Copies of this chain bind each other. A is one copy, B any other.
Amino acid sequence: MRILLIEDERELAAALSVALGKHGIVIDHTMRLEDAVELTCQNVYDAILLDRRLPDGEGLTFIPQLRRTGSDTPIIVLTARNEPMERVEGLDLGADDSLGKPFLVEELMARLRAVLRRPATVAELQIIVGRMVIDPLHLSVTVEATPLNLSRRELLVLAALARRKDKTVLRSTLEAAVYNYEEEIQSNALDAHISRLRKRLVEAGAGVAIHNIRGVGYLLREE
């Protein structure tokens, strides 16, 4: 197992090198982002440990850089102190996990194991369909970079359809995506949402159309 450590504190790097070495992990260490990019081109790493504060810039900028090369190597971001929001930023940029310093080597190992056993991360940060970009995790939609104002339920319907673009989505699946058990519906509420959603998509020129499959469900296609 080979890991890339991007970290400017020499002592921490040395300590990790020893500690992880005992677990049979080989560490390549660099202190500079610039070198990190090159190293990832030349080697295949099983995971990357990334510090945020680095001499030549903010560590997080490395994440999109790496992802753009098509790599899906797991990244664990190391953040200073126990700052939740720092961790949030890393995760939302495409990191797979985030850990505040100081940390137990035990926990780092456990997080490494967790991250390594999951199938390669294919970032579904956005769904692009027609002229729209849907971010289902942040519940936002833009058409040609201008935000589209949808209500929460409309957005849930849209996201559920867009995830299965060009494929049928069962009516029951849509209902489950929008409603939980407590909020059972007894009317055509879903139909109403579809209708309103269609209207807005047309107004916005979203470049998609929602088709109905009678007796089955719905389907979203580009037009």
Contacts and interface: CB of A to CB of B under 8 A. Distances in A.
A11 B42 CA distance: 51
Given A2-B177, A151-B215, A167-B140, A118 B92 contact: no
Contacts of A178: 26
A54 interface: no
B117 A123 contact: yes
A209 interface: no
Nearest to A180: B26
A138 B168 contact: yes
Contacts of A121: 117-119
Taken together, the copies of this chain in the complex come to 2
Contacts of A107: 84-85, 87-88
B147 A179 contact: no
A152 B106 contact: no
A24 B139 contact: yes
B140 A111 contact: no
B114 A95 contact: yes
A169 interface: yes
B119 A91 contact: no
A213 B116 CA distance: 28
A73 to B, nearest CB: 12
Interface in A77-108: 82, 84-85, 87-88, 91-92, 94-98, 103-104, 106-107
Contact of A181 (B28, B139, B149): B28
5 contacts: A1-B136, A26-B177, A87-B110, A139-B213, A151-B215
Given A1-B159, A91-B114, A139-B168, 7 more contacts: A28-B181, A91-B110, A91-B111, A116-B137, A117-B121, A117-B125, A140-B167
The 8 nearest A-B residue pairs measured at CB: A152-B215, A91-B110, A88-B110, A140-B168, A26-B180, A113-B137, A91-B114, A84-B107
Interface of A: 1-2, 22-24, 26-28, 43, 82, 84-85, 87-88, 91-92, 94-98, 103-104, 106-107, 109-114, 116-125, 135-140, 147, 149, 151-152, 155-156, 159, 163-164, 166-170, 176-181, 213-217, 219
